[in-house]
Amino acid sequence: MTMKKMIAIDLDGTTLDQNSQISPRTENALRAAIESGYYVVIATGRPYRMSKHFYQQLNLHTPMTNFNGALVHLPEKKWLGEKETIIQREIAFDLLKQKEALGLSFVAAENKENFYIDDLAHFDPRLFASAASEQNLLTAAHLTHDPNSIMVETTRENAAHCRDEIARQFGEVVDVRTWGGPRSILEIVAKGVHKAVAVSYIADRLGVAQKNVMAFGDEHNDVELLSYAGWGVAMKNGTEQLKAVADDLTNYSNADDGLADYLENYFELVQAQVV
């Protein structure tokens, strides 16, 4: 019987290059892994509408996780295994009241289908992969259900302070995660929700043993994922905290196809051992 194996990939700062794209080389390496029998699973802090095109580009058919583990689903399909975790909508409005004190440029609340942002002047269609109208304003009348996540943006210099302050106030019920990539985005999800919980759930559904999960990441929100994986690989551009828990490091950053280079060398080694 063939042993089932999985590669779990973060997007920003890992699979995506400095232009937030999947390069042809990385696409080819991941497609080669799929052809070799590996499940490739996206595990990202992004909402689905901001990662859908990458899922389609790689022609994936596996479940994926968004919002740092708060949503597990099989894109564009009805799936009995779909799972989501929500947080209290009141937290978004509490943060909105403290927007200036916390040094935030915007506060947004999101779920699988919709997003709401407090100020359309700070709306960036590239960040939300969508257009926005008055119906997307973060108000009690519009946000009527508890969201999967709350997203805030601050400056890079203020990010640590902001993260600590949000954790101090709401840490009993939420966890605060950072995005990789050029923007200083904080993702707020329910306590105990992280990528490893979601990827473990997907692995169980696919029949993949923990020891046969390989994972790639670059940021603080990938620490649990790399710790969980049988083989966790931190990007050369990754944080020191992540590198400390990784089993290995890529030789190159995401800007230089570090993930692709690692997979190419890994499969060459495997082929050599088989021969």
Which value, in Å, is the radius of gyration of the alpha carbons in the chain? 18
Strands 174-178 and 185-190, bridge-based pairing: antiparallel
* Annotation marks residue 146 as catalytic: no
CA distance 72 to 50: 15
HSE, side-chain direction, 13 A CA sphere, residue 15: 25
Q: How far is CA 100 from CA 105, 107, 153, in A?
A: 8, 11, 12
Distance, in Å, from the CA atom of 20 to the CA atom of 179, rounded to the nearest integer, reads 13
Catalytic option among 10, 175, 222, 257 = 10
In this structure, are strands 106-110 and 64-66 parallel, antiparallel, or unpaired? unpaired
For the chain, what is the largest distance between any 2 Cα atoms, rounded to a whole number of angstroms? 64
CA distances to 9, 148, 272 from 176, rounded to whole Å, are: 20, 13, 43
Catalytic residues: 10
